[in-house]
Every structure is written in structure tokens, then in C-alpha cells.
Amino acid sequence: MSQTVTPYLEMSQAIMEAGGEALKKCYQCGTCSGTCPWTPITHFNIRKLVRYGQLGLDGIEDFMWGCSTCRFCVERCPRGVEIIDIVTAIRNVYSGGGMLPQSLRAFVGSLSARGNPWSGDPDRRNDWAKEKYPVYAPGMDYLFWTCCTVCYDPRNTRLAKAAAEILNLAGASWGMPSLDVNCCGESLRKVGDAELFERLKAKNLDYFKAQGVSKIITVSPHCLASFDEDYGADFEVVHLSELMAKWIQEGKLVPKKDFGGLTVTYHDPCYLGRHSKVYDAPRDILKALPGVTFVEMERNSEESMCCGGGGGGLWTEKAKGERLSDLRIEEAMGTGATVLATACPYCITMFEDSKRTLNVDEQIQIRDVTELVLESLEISIDEPVGDACAV
């Protein structure tokens, strides 16, 4: 790096115009970087990113992809800076200049061409359902929003099916989207492609409007947060775990299976916890499962660790030793748990990967709360439960 730099305030201005207005508020106290889960293990430094942004300094592009938008810093920032907006704005400004890393190009390309990040055929979006489940029609109570990841990623289609069965069992009036929708665009927005995000959003909103959708259930907290934070539309959106907790409490769902002393710990997905402030529902569910011993990790709830999958992290390669999901699995195993439960397809994917690379298949299972509920209801979905390959 050169010894002298010149502040390039035009860049700073561009970042602010792209939504990073909050740059101005930061007084560089280091609370964000002291809180950020990446600071101890990588060179990524969120405070520096903001500082570079404030002065428009060169070199910002070297580390602007490090943030997984876990929102921990935002919660703690004494100046109330919406740091994620800054990150998004910086990425928007610089990736517009062609600075998108290779690994994210496929992701953006797939979203642009096929409306999902997994290079899936848009016509086969609902293939997981095998025509067993209803498509949303006006008059139904809920649209069950199937995240692209649960539609296309073989490991996560189990999640979609489990959710569908549970919705049926609880007697809800629901349907899944037709093929007229595409990805919610949450991660894409955080990666900085505001233009494409608006396109995806518009298509979904058109569908919601045409169908008169007023209530949406999501399995992915990322869709949940996106609808809530970015869509600004007049529909209600709720995460399936909230409904499941309610239904269990109301007796609409009665967990039967005795898990026989299974020790389960719970990882708060950042987008369900810190972004959407849902902490209790998944815990209430786990505690209601017969024969489950629920244990907490040291970092839980508001202080939960990030899996690293947000903000495009799911599609970015990280070197060994720089993976938060690895650390999190170790922390989970440290509690004596044999099941690491979570409530997000991204977390599931990250943990399944880490479990394999850490070679701890025997010691710990990764399960979504939804899957555990289905199991407790003693319903099986018609396919073997096993590890699928990552895409």
C-alpha cells in the first residue's frame, strides 16, 4: 500500500447517495469492529470499511465483501449507524464499477437470467411439491413463501415439505406461489445490485397484488426480513416458527414422539433474531418437544454468533480458519448437544458444509426446527432423510 492517500470525497458522496447516508454519523469508536464476529478471525474490519467510505479512500474494494450483514454491530453502535446500509451502498457503488468477485458473478448471473440464485429452471421451481400441495388462490389465508433455497437445494427441499405437512396438519388455509414469482432478492440487495433487486421485487409485488395476498409465511428469515424491511408493502409477514409456536401452545399441533433425552441447542439465525427480533418462538418449540433437553450456547439470542451465510456469504468461498460456521459448530458441540437446531436454510447449508469439512458427522446433526416438529408429530415425508450434496 502506498504511504500517501488522498481523500476522494466524490466516492464518499456516491456512497451516501446510494443509501449510505449514515456514514456521516460514525465517530470511529470501534464498537462495531470490537463486536463483529469476523474481526478476530479475518482481516475484515467493519470500522475501517466505514472509515474508508467516509474519506472515499482507495483500497476499500479489497475488503468490502467481508461483512455477512449479521446486524450485531448495528445493535450495539452508540451512534445508531445503520452499518448494513453503508455496506450495501459501498458494494453498490463499487460493484457497479465491475468489482464483483468471481464467486458472486454466478450468483448474480443466475438471478438475472433465471430469477433464482441456484441456476434452477424457473419452470421447475415447484417440482419439490410433486403436485401434492395447493397453489395459492385468492381467498386463502396464507401464502406460504417458498424460498429459492428450499425449492432448489436438495438438502433444503426437506424443509419445504416439512413446512407444507405442518401447515396441512394445523388446518391452515394456505397455498404456495405459482411460477410467476422469483427470488425475494434479499442477499442480492446486500451484494449491492440495487437495480436487479428492484426488478425481482417488482415481479413479486405484481404477483402479490394480482392474487390479493395479505398474509405471508416464510421459512427463510432472509425472505422474512426482506419483505419486512425492503418491500414496504401492505401485507403481513410471519416466520413459520412463530406460527408453529402458537399452534403448539393452542394445541393445534401436539408433539408426540419422545426424543429420549436428545440434547438440542439452538442457533439464532441473524435474520430471524437480530433482524426480525424473533428469539422466543423457536426456543418455545424446542422446549415443547417431549424428551428433548434444551441447552443454550454461551452466545445466544441478541448475542448470537453469525454462521457467515448472510450478505452473499453463502456464495463466497472462505478459507479454512476463516469460517464462522466452523466455530459455531464447535461451540455447539461444547455444550454437549448432539443436535444443532436452527431456523434458516442458509444456516443449514453453512453448517452442513462445516460439519462435513470438520468431519464431525457422527457427533452432531444439523436440523431445522421445522424438521424436528414434523418428526415429533410422527409424520414422515416420502423420502429418505439423509445428507444431500450441496449445489
Partner 1 sequence: MSRIGVFVCHCGLNIAKTVRVSELAEFAATLPDVVVAKDYKFMCSTPGQEMIANDIKEHRLDRVIVTACSPLMHEQTFRKVLAASGLNQYLLSIVNIREQVSWVTHDIDEGTAKAKALLNGAVRRARLLAPLTSRVIDVNSDVLVVGGGIAGIQAALELANTGKKVYLVEKNSTIGGHMAQFDKTFPTLDCSACILTPKMDSVLQHKNIQLMTSCEVSEVKGFVGNFDITIRQKARYVDHTKCNACLACTEKCPGKGVSEWDEGLVKRKAIYIPFPQAVPQKPVIDRDACTFFKKGKCRLCEKVCEQKAIDFEQQDTFTTVKVGAVIVATGYDLMDTRSLIQYGYGKYPGVYNALEVERLFNSAGPTGGKVTLRDGKEPQAIAILHCIGSRDKNNYEHCSRVCCMYSLKFAHLFKEKTSADVYQFYIDMRAAGKGYEEFYNRIIEEDVKFIRGKGARVAQSADEPDRLVVEAEDTITGKFIKLPVDMVVLSPAIIPRGDAKDVARLFNLSTDKYGFFMERHPKLAPLSTMSEGVFIAGVCQSPKDIPDTVAQAYGAAAEALTIVVKDKLELEATTAMVNPASCCACQNCVRVCPYGAPFFNETKGVSEINEALCKGCGLCASVCPPSAIIARHFTNDQVLAEMEGLLEF
In whole angstroms, the minimum distance from the beta carbon of 304 to partner 1 comes to: 12
With CB under 8 A as the contact rule, the residue among 303, 335, 360, 381 that binds partner 1 is 303
Identity of the residue, 27 or 387, whose beta carbon is nearer to partner 1 in the bound complex: 27
In whole angstroms, the minimum distance from the beta carbon of 45 to partner 1 comes to: 5
Identity of the residue, 33 or 370, whose beta carbon is nearer to partner 1 in the bound complex: 33
Q: What is the Cα–Cα distance from 348 to 307, expressed in whole angstroms? A: 9
Touching partner 1, residues 231-270 (CB under 8 A): none
Q: What is the Cα–Cα distance from 82 to 313, expressed in whole angstroms? A: 19
Identity of the residue, 41 or 205, whose beta carbon is nearer to partner 1 in the bound complex: 41
Please report how many Cα atoms fall inside a 13 Å half-sphere around the Cα of residue 337, on the Cβ side.
26
The alpha-carbon radius of gyration of the chain (Å, integer) is 21
Q: How many residues does the chain have?
A: 391
Identity of the residue, 33 or 218, whose beta carbon is nearer to partner 1 in the bound complex: 33
Does residue 374 sit in helix, strand or coil? helix
With CB under 8 A as the contact rule, the residue among 18, 77, 373, 377 that binds partner 1 is 77
In whole angstroms, the minimum distance from the beta carbon of 28 to partner 1 comes to: 6
Identity of the residue, 26 or 339, whose beta carbon is nearer to partner 1 in the bound complex: 26
Contacts of residues 164-167 at CB distance under 8 Å and 24 or more positions apart, as own/partner, are 164/129, 164/132, 164/133, 165/374, 165/377, 165/379, 165/381, 166/240, 166/244, 166/253, 166/370, 166/373, 166/374, 166/377, 167/142, 167/217
Which range, of 12-20, 22-30, 90-98, 121-129, touches partner 1 by CB under 8 A?
22-30
Q: What is the Cα–Cα distance from 331 to 226, expressed in whole angstroms? A: 29
Q: What is the Cα–Cα distance from 148 to 160, expressed in whole angstroms? A: 10
Residue with cell 454461551: 298
Residue 91 carries which side chain, given as an amino acid letter? R
Touching partner 1, residues 306-335 (CB under 8 A): none
- Per-residue binding string, partner 1, 273-302, x by CB under 8 A, is -------------------------x---x
In whole angstroms, the minimum distance from the beta carbon of 80 to partner 1 comes to: 4
Which range, of 76-84, 112-120, 260-268, 281-289, touches partner 1 by CB under 8 A?
76-84
Identity of the residue, 24 or 105, whose beta carbon is nearer to partner 1 in the bound complex: 24
Identity of the residue, 90 or 219, whose beta carbon is nearer to partner 1 in the bound complex: 90
The phi, psi pair for 239, rounded to 5°, reads -85, 145
Size of the site for partner 1 (CB under 8 A): 21
Identity of the residue, 79 or 199, whose beta carbon is nearer to partner 1 in the bound complex: 79
Cα 113 → chain centroid: 22
Identity of the residue, 25 or 132, whose beta carbon is nearer to partner 1 in the bound complex: 25
Enumerate the β-bridge partners of residue 262.
Answer: 292
In whole angstroms, the minimum distance from the beta carbon of 51 to partner 1 comes to: 9
In whole angstroms, the minimum distance from the beta carbon of 66 to partner 1 comes to: 13
Neighbours of 98 (CB within 10 A): 6
Which range, of 73-81, 131-139, 309-317, 320-328, touches partner 1 by CB under 8 A?
73-81
In whole angstroms, the minimum distance from the beta carbon of 74 to partner 1 comes to: 10
With CB under 8 A as the contact rule, the residue among 78, 232, 251, 261 that binds partner 1 is 78
**Burial class, 123, CB count within 10 angstroms (exposed 0-12 / middle 13-18 / buried 19+):** exposed
In whole angstroms, the minimum distance from the beta carbon of 42 to partner 1 comes to: 10
Touching partner 1, residues 23-52 (CB under 8 A): 27-31, 33-35, 39-40, 45, 47-48
Identity of the residue, 72 or 315, whose beta carbon is nearer to partner 1 in the bound complex: 72
To the nearest 10 degrees (0 to 180), the angle between helices 83-95 and 46-55 is 60
Spell out the residues 6+ positions from residue 241 whose beta carbon is closer than 8 angstroms to its own: 272, 278, 281, 282, 285, 343, 369, 370
DSSP letter string over 123-137? GGTTGGGTT-SPBP-
In whole angstroms, the minimum distance from the beta carbon of 68 to partner 1 comes to: 16
Identity of the residue, 62 or 127, whose beta carbon is nearer to partner 1 in the bound complex: 62
Q: Interface with partner 1 by CB under 8 A: which residues?
A: 27-31, 33-35, 39-40, 45, 47-48, 76-80, 298, 302-303
